[in-house]
Amino acid sequence: MPVEIHPTATVYPGTVLGEDVKVLENAVVGKQPSLSPRSTAKREPLPPTEIGDGTIVSTGAVVFAGSRIGARVILGDQSCVRERVTIGDDVVLGRGSLVENDTTIGALTKIQAEAYITAYSTLEEQVFVAPCVVTTNDNFMGRTERRHELVKGPTIRRGARIGGGAILCPGIEIGEEAFVGAGAVVTKDVPPRVVVVGSPARMLREVPDEELLDD
């Protein structure tokens, strides 16, 4: 099937679109970043965006140059993917969500509406991020020179689930198949296959067997 690009969409030259890709109303694909003179982000020239077969870039979504999106991905309405992001196959990115620069997202992961994935994050495969989850990467919030070497987003291991509105402090690791309850504020690493809840998050119990991935 041919690529479909809505007449109101903007797709920059050089963008690589797989078969059957759809780019919906007002979406913008292949945008180069407009960095502030004060930004600490990298300034190398960015290669074009690559988008895999069957992926849909929904209404009003923005995808930056230098990112590679897999096949059969849905980038939701009004979502945004920054530069140097790698997104695996069959990922769903919810409406209004944001994936910041230099982040990797594994296949089959679902990031729901309005979630915020900070720069320098790693999400493995089959992760579930509920709506409005907040991630962070800088304990110094812009102060001190050494923060630059310490900036680190979360590492969310295969099959972990993060509940609605939960907040992950910088550099946290969420173990395989762990479960973070809605509204939890996670201040330290979470071991595999445990449930944590509360502010600050504390362990509640193990994840029941019937909720584990069965492969």
> What minimum distance in Å lies between the beta carbon of 52 and a copy of itself?
14
Find the angle CA(81)-CA(167)-CA(100) to the nearest 5 degrees: 15
| Window 153 to 182, contacts with a copy of itself (CB under 8 A) | 161, 163-165, 167, 169, 179, 182
Q: Which two tokens stand for residue 23?
A: 């780019």
Nearer to a copy of itself, 39 or 203 (CB): 39
> For a copy of itself, what does the binding mask look like between residues 107 and 126, x meaning CB under 8 A?
---x--xx-x-x--------
Q: Which two tokens stand for residue 20?
A: 């059957």
Find the angle CA(159)-CA(93)-CA(135) to the nearest 5 degrees: 65
As a whole number of angstroms, the distance between CA 19 and CA 70 comes to 12
- Reference 93, options 76, 105, 77; nearest CA is 76
Nearer to a copy of itself, 191 or 198 (CB): 198
Told to check if 149 binds a copy of itself by CB under 8 A, we report no
- Stretch touching a copy of itself by CB under 8 A, among 13-21, 45-53, 150-158, 197-205: 197-205
> DSSP characters for 61-88?
-EEETT-EE-TT-EE-TT-EE-TT-EE-
- The strand pair at 86-87 and 68-69 is best described as parallel
The structure tokens 């790698």 sit at 86
**Interface with a copy of itself by CB under 8 A: which residues?**
6, 8, 10, 22, 24-26, 28, 31, 34, 36-39, 56, 58-60, 62, 72, 74, 77-78, 80, 90, 92, 95-96, 98, 100, 110, 113-114, 116, 118, 128, 130-132, 134-136, 138, 140-144, 161, 163-165, 167, 169, 179, 182-183, 185, 198-200, 210-213
